[in-house]
Amino acid sequence: MLTVKRLTKSFGDTKAVDDLSFSITAGEIVGFLGPNGAGKTTTMRLIAGYLSPDSGTIIIDDKQVGEEGSDARRYIGYLPENNPLYKDMLVSEFLTLSADLKNIPADKRRAAFDFAVSAVDIGDVFYRPVGELSKGYKQRIGMAVALLHRPSILILDEPTEGLDPNQRTEIRSLIKSLAKERTILLSTHVMQEASALCSRILIIHHGKLVADGTPKELAAKAQQQNILIVELEGKGIEAALKSMPGVSRIALDSLGGDRIRATLITAGDQLQPQVLALSAQHGWKVWRLAEEEHKLEDIFHSLTTHA
């Protein structure tokens, strides 16, 4: 569906995208993550045809963007980071202008409007001025514009940026519904959003791809330590746990009486059997024994803070 091969783009002495390659298959929701200045927006603009690469190729359904630009770009709907809207226009007028710019024939306008308006549920504001609408509705209008020509690929740059929690939930639900019939590449700084929405995540840093996989796969690749949470009740727990081989760090909290919660940090060792054996040996009660999952924020941090 979408293939990026050895893409490079520089602005003066700054290399925004550096030999970047990846591919996305039909029906995927792919999260595009990276710190500010990593090259996410530049990459999205290159794919959408708003910028030309210094080198490399972008292929959409076997058509190369640039060489067959108009054919390739018609497969793409693009919502920029700063959603460009004319606030003094009615929503209907803005969609008409967008249809003009996209060269949608007059005899296909009604069907295009019906499809886009219905897809993002903006029928109740169709004849209202854009400037009177909430940020959530403005994002919906931007998506309607991106959908007018019925693209098979949607590129969404920070689609929930600046929205309140309720609006974020609405836009996330909208993205999920749109993904049923198309491929979506979206950038976000909200790690929970990437985990909740995306079947796959790409992380770039300094214009280079540093990770590619599902959230679980990234956790497995980036995992450098195990975190075991135990809650035990009995005598001599602290001394026994501290003497366990394989424990690189331990944090203890008293829960009252002889009950203790311990956080055990290891360099990959599985401590559950040892803890259970110690509990049986000393007659401790085991209230909790659970390995803590690595959060996407931790993975992101570990992959994007190296020199």
């309140």: which residue's tokens? 164
The torsion angle over the Cα atoms of residues 156, 162, 164 and 169, rounded to 10 degrees, is 10
**What percentage of the chain exceeds 90 in pLDDT?**
57
pTM, full prediction? 0.74
| Residues ≥6 apart with Cβ < 8 Å to 205 | 34, 35, 38, 303, 304, 306
Of the candidates 165, 156, 142, the one whose C-alpha atom is nearest the C-alpha of residue 187 is 156
pLDDT at position 217 is: 80
E runs forming strands in the chain: 2-11, 14-24, 29-33, 55-60, 63-64, 76-79, 153-157, 183-187, 200-205, 208-213, 226-233, 247-254, 259-266, 285-291
What would the pLDDT profile of 180-225 be if each residue is shown by its tens digit? 888 999 998 877 788 888 999 999 999 999 889 987 787 666 555 6
* Domains with residue ranges and CATH for the chain: 2-221 (3.40.50.300), 224-300 (3.30.70.260)
- Residue range 31-59: average pLDDT? 92
DSSP state, 90? B
One-letter amino acid at 307 equals: A
Q: What percent of the chain has pLDDT over 70?
A: 90
Could you read off the pLDDT of 198-210 as tens digits, one per residue? Answer: 999 999 999 999 8
Q: What is the pLDDT of residues 6-15, one digit of tens each?
A: 999 999 999 9
Positive or negative torsion for Cα 268, 274, 275, 276: positive
pLDDT attached to residue 203: 92
Mean pLDDT of 116-126: 94
- Arithmetic mean of pLDDT, 79-99: 94
